[in-house]
Amino acid sequence: MASFRRLLPLCSSLNKTSFSSPRVREGLGANVRGYSGIAPSEETISKFEEGIRRAEADLVVNDDIDKIRREFDAAKRSFLKIPEALKAMPKTNPEGIYVNRSIRLDLIQVYGFDYDFTLAHYSANLQSLIYDLAKEHMVNEFRYPEVCMSFKYDPSFPIRGLYYDKQNGCLLKLDFFGSIEPDGCFYGRRQLGEKEIEEIYGTRHIGRDQARELVGLMDFFCFSEACLIADIVQYFVDAKLEFDACYIYQDVNRAIEHVHRSGLVHRGILSDPHRYLVKNGQLLHFLRLLKEKGKKLFLLTNSPYYFVDGGMQFMLEDSTGGRDSWRELFDVVIAKANKPEFYTSERPFRCYDTEKDTLAFTKVDKFLQNKIYYHGCLKSFLQITKWNGPEVIYFGDHLFSDLRGPSKAGWRTAAIIQELEAKFHILQE
């Protein structure tokens, strides 16, 4: 760059000197007179100067690039030293509580809880139970091929938060922006590559029209549903049988719903609670601590009362010694709430008779602590309790039934996400 700068004075002097001067020609003779024919014009000098300026500008850019490259290399060398520093940092608590907005717990006066996967947690055996009961129903009632009875639940296949495409038959994992993750598209049990995804969807991004064909598989109960859908799709593909992807979903979904609504799963769990339920010795301590601090507690679940009662007795038997009833911990107990419709419907509450297994006909205009209530809706719940939204926090595991729905009442929400514990362990390793 310095050499180019030294040329600039020369260009300037060339521009000022006239080689075609008559005096010069006369003094130097004929041979010199021919020199005027090659004297550079102003246009030539201007182009030469422009070339120099461009070259000089390119060198400035190159200097900037070299500077950025040096800074990047220095940052890279510094980054490679970070892992050693991280070893000295305190580990993240996998069982911690994390917030995405500020909250003052001293202003929270009411604590609400879902039951399944919130107060009650289950072992991996539960998914196999649901899977087996559902496939039996599809074979016996929907006349699916007998070979489906040989299917086995694969715990390594499904994850929470999948979508099923009823039109194309694919299981999808979408990112925050609604795009298919590169390794998150399966047709049956086969993972599709990026080219195959583009052939089906045109792009990885799911448009509004395509999104209408998607159904979410959001909670833990959907693990067995996603696996069964994939296994049946794979069977039809391998057998080279024509099928409608929408019908596969409808049949599997109906079978899963039957397993739950008929009580097959509930009776299976209660018949062997040690196999399916996971005890938590801190549960009773936590609930009692809230009561001692003067907080109100309520239970709002879609499960029937006999199932909740059996599960709570089993989980708390080591803590209570069979002396105290878990119902004394809660000011209101609502079962078979039919969430998420609970938040939008105007269905009335019914008082449930635990001894006769019947619903009373009297109008519910107040909640009694020693009573159990069925059905109901958010509107009536707020009218009866007078609990204001900001003073209520609700704990659950389902995105729509437990987290989005309560926000309509202004409730704070807390998500119980078991997968985060394993993710934190992986990150720390």
Residue 136 has pLDDT above 80, yes or no: yes
- Comparing 30-44, 130-144, 318-332, the range with the smallest average pLDDT is 30-44
Residue 250 has pLDDT above 50, yes or no: yes
Q: Tell me which fold the domain 105-121+276-428 belongs to.
A: Rossmann fold (3.40.50)
Q: What is the reported pLDDT for 321?
A: 58
Q: What is the reported pLDDT for 37?
A: 44
* Pairwise CA distance, residues 259 & 247, whole Å: 18
**pLDDT band at 16, cuts 50/70/90?**
very low
> Is 114 annotated as a binding-site member?
yes
Q: How many CB atoms lie within 10 A of CB 215?
A: 17
Q: Is the dihedral of CA 136, 138, 141, 147 positive or negative?
A: negative
Q: Are 297 and 329 in contact (CB under 8 A)?
A: yes
| pLDDT tens-digit series, residues 33-76 | 434 444 455 666 666 666 666 666 666 667 777 888 888 888 87
* Pairwise CA distance, residues 257 & 352, whole Å: 23
> Is 365 annotated as a binding-site member?
no
More confident residue, 78 or 8: 78
- Nearest alpha-carbon partner for 191 in 152, 153, 156, 240: 156
- 331 has catalytic annotation: no
> Is 58 annotated as a binding-site member?
no
Q: Which of 58, 66, 106, 114 is catalytic?
A: 114
| 106: CB partners within 8 A, 6+ apart | none
Q: What is the pTM of this model?
A: 0.72
Q: What is the reported pLDDT for 55?
A: 65
More confident residue, 90 or 166: 166
Q: What is the reported pLDDT for 149?
A: 95
- 116 has catalytic annotation: yes
Q: What is the reported pLDDT for 384?
A: 95
Q: Kindly state the tokens that stand for 400.
A: 């729509």
Q: What is the reported pLDDT for 324?
A: 60
| pLDDT tens-digit series, residues 183-207 | 889 999 999 998 998 898 888 888 8
| pLDDT tens-digit series, residues 391-413 | 999 999 887 778 888 887 889 99
Q: Span 336-359, mean pLDDT?
A: 93
Q: Kindly state the tokens that stand for 397.
A: 């595991």
Angle at 73 between CA 72 and CA 75, to 5 degrees: 65
Q: What is the reported pLDDT for 43?
A: 63
111, β-bridge pairs: 297, 393
Q: Which of 63, 66, 106, 116 is catalytic?
A: 116
- Comparing 17-21, 87-91, 229-233, 368-372, the range with the smallest average pLDDT is 17-21
Domain ranges of the chain: 105-121+276-428, 124-271
* Pairwise CA distance, residues 40 & 15, whole Å: 8
Q: What is the reported pLDDT for 14?
A: 40
- Mean pLDDT, the chain, integer: 83
